[in-house]
C-alpha cells in the first residue's frame, strides 16, 4: 500500500469541478435536513448489554451494505458511559453556586436611586451569572453526546464507548464507531486519518439511510446530516482557499455545528472542536461523498482506487 503524507487527499479533490460538486452535495443535504421536523429520538440506551444488542443489529446492516459475511463482533465490546445521567446533579450544583453568587453581588451592589451607566453595566454583568450554569450545562451535554469513540484495550480488543444517548442517536454514532472497527479489521492502521474518517462517515451515512428506510423515521438521518453538513462546509472552505476563490454567499450562510468563534460558542453553549481533526474529517467526508457521485457506492467502499489516484 502507498504511504500517505499528512493532509494529502487525492488530487481530483482540488479542482473547480470538485468544489462545485461538493457545494452541490452540501446544498442538497442541507435542504434535506431543513425538510425534517424531528423532535423525538427514542428512549435512552441504559447499559452495555443493551448497547451490544444494538451493535448486533448495526453489524448485520453493515454486512449487508458491504456485502460481507465476516463476524467482526468477536473481538469487540460496547461500553455505555453514564456522564449524561450524572449531568443534572452537576448542573444543580452549578446553579446553586452561581445563583448564590449572583444574589450576593446584587445585594452588595444595590444602591437606591443609583442610575449611572457604570451601575447598570455592573448590574448586567452580575445578571449574566444567572445564565452561566445553563450555558455550561448545555455545552457539557453536547460535548458528551459527541464524545463517543473507538479504541483498543490492552488485549488488543476493540472497544466502542458511547454515553446513554437516545436509541436513534445511539445507533447513528454506533454505526460510525463500528465502521472504524471494520476498517481496522479489513485495511489495518496503515492509512491517513482522513481516509479512515471519511470511510467511517460514509458507511455511517449508508447505515442510517437503511434504518430510515426500514422504519420510515427521518430522525435517523438528523444527527448524521448535521455532522456531514458541517464537514462538507468546512471542506468547501479549505478547497476554496487552495483554489484561491470565494464561496457563494448562500454556502457561507449554511449553519454548521462547527463554529470557529470562541465567544459565540461560549455564549450559546455550542461544543468546541479540534481544528486539526476537523480538517481530517472534512476532507475525508468530501472525498468519499464526491467519490460516490463519480464512481458509485461499491467502488467507493473499496479504497484501493483512492490510493491509485494519489500515485
Summarised one tens digit per residue, pLDDT across range 224-259 is 999 999 999 999 999 999 899 999 999 999 988 887
- The average confidence (pLDDT) of the chain is 85
Question: Would you state the pLDDT for residue 306?
Answer: 59
What angle, rounded to 10 degrees, do the helices at 48-66 and 193-215 form?
100
Answer whether residue 94 shows pLDDT above 80: yes
- Contact (Cβ atoms closer than 8 angstroms) between residue 44 and residue 166: yes
> How far is residue 303's CA from residue 186's CA, in Å, rounded to a whole number?
11
Structural domain contains residue 25: yes
pTM of the model: 0.85
Residue 113 lies in a domain: no
For 188-228, how does the pLDDT look when each residue is reduced to its tens digit (9 = 90+)?
A: 766 678 889 999 999 999 999 999 999 999 999 988 999 99
- Number of domains present in the structure of the chain: 1
Grade residue 3 by pLDDT with cuts at 50, 70 and 90: very low
Tell whether 145 is covered by a domain. no
User: Tens digit of pLDDT for each residue in 57-84?
Assistant: 999 999 999 988 877 888 899 999 999 8
In a domain, 102, yes or no: no
CA-closest candidate to residue 194, choices 4, 23, 67, 27: 4
The answer to whether residue 106 sits within a structural domain is no
What is the mean pLDDT of the segment spanning 164-183?
94
Q: Please name the residues in contact with 296: beta carbons below 8 A apart, sequence gap of 6 or more.
A: none
**Residue 115 falls within a domain, yes or no?**
no
Could you give the residue ranges of the DSSP H alpha helices within the chain? 16-34, 48-66, 83-108, 117-128, 132-146, 167-187, 193-215, 219-243, 249-252, 262-268, 275-295, 297-301, 304-310
Q: Is residue 100 part of a domain?
A: no
84 found inside a domain: no
Full residue range of the structural domain in which residue 204 is found: 11-76+166-310
Q: Between the ranges 11-20, 189-198, 228-237, 272-281, where is the mean pLDDT highest?
A: 228-237
Amino acid at each position: 500500500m502507498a504511504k500517505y503524507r499528512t493532509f494529502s487527499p487525492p488530487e481530483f479533490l482540488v479542482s473547480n469541478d470538485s468544489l462545485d460538486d461538493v457545494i452541490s452535495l452540501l446544498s442538497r443535504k442541507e435542504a434535506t435536513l431543513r425538510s425534517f421536523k424531528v423532535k423525538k429520538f427514542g428512549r435512552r440506551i441504559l447499559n452495555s448489554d443493551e448497547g451490544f444488542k444494538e451493535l448486533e443489529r448495526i453489524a448485520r446492516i453493515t454486512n449487508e451494505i458491504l456485502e460481507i459475511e465476516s463476524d467482526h463482533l468477536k473481538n469487540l465490546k460496547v461500553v455505555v458511559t453514564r456522564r449524561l445521567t450524572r449531568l443534572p446533579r452537576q448542573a444543580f450544583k452549578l446553579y446553586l453556586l452561581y445563583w448564590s453568587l449572583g444574589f450576593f453581588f446584587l445585594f452588595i451592589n444595590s444602591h437606591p436611586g443609583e442610575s449611572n451607566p457604570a451601575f447598570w453595566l455592573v448590574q448586567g454583568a452580575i445578571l449574566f451569572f444567572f445564565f452561566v450554569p445553563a450555558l455550561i450545562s448545555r455545552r457539557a451535554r453536547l460535548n458528551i453526546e459527541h464524545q463517543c469513540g473507538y479504541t483498543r484495550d490492552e488485549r488488543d480488543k476493540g472497544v466502542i464507548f458511547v454515553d446513554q444517548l437516545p436509541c436513534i442517536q445511539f445507533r447513528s454514532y454506533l454505526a460510525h464507531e463500528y465502521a472504524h472497527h471494520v476498517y481496522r479489521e479489513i485495511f489495518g492502521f496503515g492509512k491517513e486519518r482522513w481516509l479512515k474518517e471519511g470511510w467511517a462517515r460514509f458507511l455511517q451515512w449508508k447505515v442510517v439511510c437503511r434504518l430510515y428506510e426500514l422504519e420510515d423515521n427521518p430522525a435517523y438521518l438528523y444527527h448524521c446530516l448535521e455532522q456531514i453538513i458541517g464537514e462538507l462546509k468546512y471542506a468547501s472552505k479549505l478547497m476554496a482557499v487552495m483554489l484561491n476563490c470565494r464561496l457563494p454567499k448562500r454556502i457561507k450562510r449554511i449553519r454548521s455545528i462547527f463554529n470557529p468563534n470562541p465567544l459565540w460558542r461560549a455564549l450559546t453553549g455550542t461544543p468546541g472542536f479540534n481544528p486539526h481533526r476537523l480538517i481530517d474529517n472534512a476532507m475525508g467526508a468530501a472525498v468519499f461523498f464526491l467519490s460516490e457521485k463519480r464512481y458509485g457506492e461499491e467502488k467507493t467502499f473499496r479504497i484501493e482506487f483512492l490510493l491509485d489516484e494519489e500515485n
